[in-house]
Amino acid sequence: MPRQQRQKGQSGYYHIMIRGNERRNIFRDDEDRYRFMDTLYEKKQGAKFHLHAFCLMDNHIHLLISEGIEDIALVMKRITVSYVNYFNKKYNRIGHLFHDRFRSEAIEEEGYLISLTRYIHQNPVKANMVKTAYEYPWSSYNSYLDKNHFSKMLDMDTILGMFSPDKEIAQRIFKCDINLLPPESFIDIPDDNDIIDEVMAKELFEKALLESGIDLDKCPKVELAKMLKEFREKTNLSFRKMSIITGLNKDKINRLLKS
């Protein structure tokens, strides 16, 4: 199947995830992590893009980026090509390092930016690598609190400004807020090896509707729940993303999937 063109977000904000091919580690030591951060810093010069949050895990990366003067696809190509060249040369290897293309999710609602920032910084806690986001050195959490040298490469005013126009007050609220569990689900490493774009997911859903003859407005709860469960198993989409594609309220989707 030919690759579907990525859908452009209107806000210009994106949650980006890159993962290692076959789930292998893309960072083997701290030198690799510093090199990736140096690459981010280098490639964003000249307002090519804006970096609002990041988290480097062993075999995947989460970024909250907004577009600058360069298209997000070109931004990610320049970053990944540079890092892969470094990695392959250092470890005397050839071939792919990252799994296919990067995954992207456009963030259109302002409120989700805070939820996403919380989600990104909670990744190491979720993976039981640390007990609190503060303990993890390879995310932007401490940068927001003026605690490390990555602060210079981050564009923090957008997120902090959502808490308070006063930076010190905003940082205090940020510190409390980020340690809350995020209520939303965002893109992450799926349970299988398939990664599906939103366009492909929408086509899959429309095909399922046609084949089953289901009318969303009149479909019995049991049949709709069964179809939605099968759809989520195939796509691994969040409730919010399923809501966008299906037009159903995400709370309703949540109830149906749990029924």
Extents of the domains making up the chain: 13-178, 198-258
pLDDT at 10: 59
- pLDDT tens by residue, 141-190: 999 998 778 888 999 999 999 999 999 999 999 988 877 655 455 656 55
- In the predicted model, residues of the chain with pLDDT beneath 70 are 1-10, 100, 180-199, 234, 236
C-beta contacts of 175-180 below 8 A and 24+ residues apart: 175/145, 177/114, 177/118, 178/117, 178/118, 178/121, 178/122, 178/133, 178/141, 178/144, 179/132, 179/133, 180/118
pLDDT of residue 161: 93
Q: Does domain 13-178 have CATH number 3.60.10.10?
A: no
Coil, helix or strand at residue 61: strand
* pLDDT given for residue 245 in this prediction: 82
Angle at 253 between CA 18 and CA 202, to 5 degrees: 55
Residues in CB range of 198: below 8 A, 6 or more apart: 7, 105, 241, 244, 245
Q: Answer whether 125's CB lies under 8 Å from 151's CB.
A: no
- Distance between CA 203 and CA 205 in Å, rounded? 5
* β partners of residue 105: 15
Report the pLDDT value the prediction gives residue 167, as an integer from 0 to 100: 92
pLDDT score of 6: 44
3-state secondary structure of 108: coil
Q: Contact at 8 Å (CB) between 161 and 116?
A: no
Residues 74-94 pLDDT 10s:
999 999 999 999 999 999 988
Residues 6+ apart with CB under 8 A from 168: none
Q: Which residues contact 136 (CB under 8 A, 6 or more apart)?
A: 55, 124, 125, 129, 130
Q: What is the pTM of this model?
A: 0.68
